Every structure is written in C-alpha cells, then in structure tokens.
Amino acid sequence: MERIYIFKRFERFWHWSQALLIILMMVTGFEIHGSWSLLGYGDASELHTSAAWALIALWLFAIFWHFTTGEWRQYIPTTENLVAMLRYYLSGIFTHAPHPFHPTRLTKHNPLQRLAYLGVKLMINPLIWLSGLAYLYYNEINAAGFGLDLGLVAMLHTIGAFLMLAFLVVHVYVITTGDTWSSQLKAMITGWEEIEDPQEGVKP
C-alpha cells in the first residue's frame, strides 16, 4: 500500500467549486426550462446567470492553470490500455480482477477517463458556454444584425445540459470503481490516493 499525491490544492478547489456550480446550474437551469418549480422563475434565472459568470471566471483560472502547469497533457487521448479498461468495466470488475490502470502523478486518468473528460472539455462545455452566452446576449446579438432564433439557442443549450447531466451521473458512479469504492473520492478530497500495487508511483 502506497499513497501518492495526485490532485493538487487548486485542482481540488477547481473541481469541487465547479461541481457545486454545475449542480446549482442544473437545478436552476431545468427550472428555467420548465422541468420543475423550486425557486420561482425569476430567482432561478438570476441565480443561473450569476453561477454562469462564477463558472466562467473559474474556468479562466483553470485553463490558465492547465497550461502553465502542463496538466493539459493529462487529457491527451491514448489507446493504450483502452480495451483493457473496457474489458475490466464489463467483466473484470465483477471477478476481483486486478485494475488494469494505476494512477501516477504523470497519468492521473485512465484512458476512458481521458476520453470522457476531453469530451466534456471539447464538446459539452463549449456547447453549453456558447449557447448559454448566446441565450444571455440574444438581444444584443440580434441587435447587431444576426437573425438568431431563441428557440434554437435554447434547444442547443438544453442538449448541452442533458449531455452534462448524463456525464454527471456516469462520473459520480464511475469514480467508485477505483481500488476501493471510495479511493478516488478520497483522492479528490485530500489529494492523496492509496494505491495497492504502485508500479511507478512517485512521491511528492
């Protein structure tokens, strides 16, 4: 048993505040969409907008952090172990097979995680942000001469929201598939992950 320091302080701050904001935006966003009624439309809309700006600010910091620390490389897709990971999730996990992937400081994420997070960053997030900003500045954009259709903007934003919701559900479940049910959760809280059989673990 060994412990490695995987998630640094900023990374954890970024992750959890992002998680909080995204859940808040899910709750308020689907209220704006008419799926339920909790806060009242006006308050939901205002909170959704404020949370959006907070998340945008957080994102700017996170993007800066990723590039200055080189952490962006964590999301470069790889096929190495990809099939093994899939096989593990589909069968090995049920039969106490050894985990095919062991995180290190240089490769925190297994190949499926890499793909999933890259998908979020390159597809879902841009879709949500672009459609969300268009939603927010719909009047100004159209005043500038673009014939934007609010229904279409809202539809794209809703598609983004559903994709994010599906990601959130899967993500919350899949992080229970580490060495133990809670090892990955603990790592994101404390920064430290306990590894049963480290191969190339590097101490901080």
Partner 1 sequence: MKTNRSNRRALSWRALSWRALSWRAALLAAAVAGAAFQGGVVLAATKASTADHAKFKELQQGFASGPEVTRACLICHTEAAKQVHKTKHWTWEFLNPENGQKLGKKNVINNFCISIPSNYPFCTSCHVGYGWKDANFDFTAEENVDCLVCHDTTGSYRKLPGLAGHPPYQDTEIPPGSGKFAKAVDLTKVAQKVGKTSRDTCGACHFFGGGGDGVKHGDMDSSLAAPDKALDVHMDATGLDFTCGTCHRTASHDVPGSRYTPVARDTEGAHIPGRQDDSLPATCPACHGQVPHKGGGHAAKLNDHVDVVACQTCHIPQIARGGVATKMSWDWSTAGQMGPDGKPMLKKDEAGRVIYDSKKGDFVLGENVVPEYRWFNGEVTYTLLGDRVDQGEGVTRINRLGGSASDGRSLIWPMKVFVGVQPYDPVNHTLVTPHTAGNDDTAYWKNFGWEKAIKTGMQVSGAPFSGQVDFVRTEMSWPITHMVAPKEDAVRCGECHMKGGRLEKVGGVYIPGRDANPLIDLVGWLMAGGALLGALVHGGLRIVRRNG
Rule CB under 8 A: is residue 37 a binding residue for partner 1?
Answer: yes
SS3 for the chain is CEEEECCCHHHHHHHHHHHHHHHHHHHHHHHHCCCCCCCCHHHHHHHHHHHHHHHHHHHHHHHHHHHHHCHHHHHCCCCCCHHHHHHHHHCHHHHCCCCCCCCCCCCCCCHHHHHHHHHHHHHHHHHHHHHHHHHHCHHHHHHCCCCCCHHHHHHHHHHHHHHHHHHHHHHHHHHHHCCCCCHHHHHHHHCEEEECCCCCCCCC
CB nearer partner 1, residue 57 or residue 172: 172
Could you say which residues in the range 63-122 bind partner 1, by CB under 8 A?
Answer: 89, 93-96
Residue with smaller CB distance to partner 1, 93 or 123 = 93
Give the one residue of 10, 23, 46, 106 binding partner 1; rule: CB under 8 A.
Answer: 46
Q: Judged by CB under 8 A, which of 3, 138, 190, 192 binds partner 1?
A: 138
Q: How far is CA 47 from the centre of its chain?
A: 21
Minimum distance of partner 1 from residue 32's CB (angstroms): 5
57 in contact with partner 1 (CB under 8 A): no
**Closest residue by Cα to residue 157 from 23, 29, 28, 52:** 29
Q: How far is the CB of 55 from partner 1 (least distance, A)?
A: 16
Task: Choose the binding region for partner 1 from 2-10, 26-34, 106-114, 190-198 (rule: CB under 8 A).
Answer: 26-34
Per CB under 8 A, the list member of 80, 149, 197, 200 interacting with partner 1 is 149
Q: Which of residues 158-197 bind partner 1 (CB under 8 A)?
A: 158-159, 161-163, 165-166, 169-170, 172-174, 176-177
Structure token pair of residue 66: 């990723």
Binding residues for partner 1 (CB under 8 A): 31-35, 37, 40-42, 45-46, 49-50, 89, 93-96, 138-139, 149-151, 154-155, 158-159, 161-163, 165-166, 169-170, 172-174, 176-177
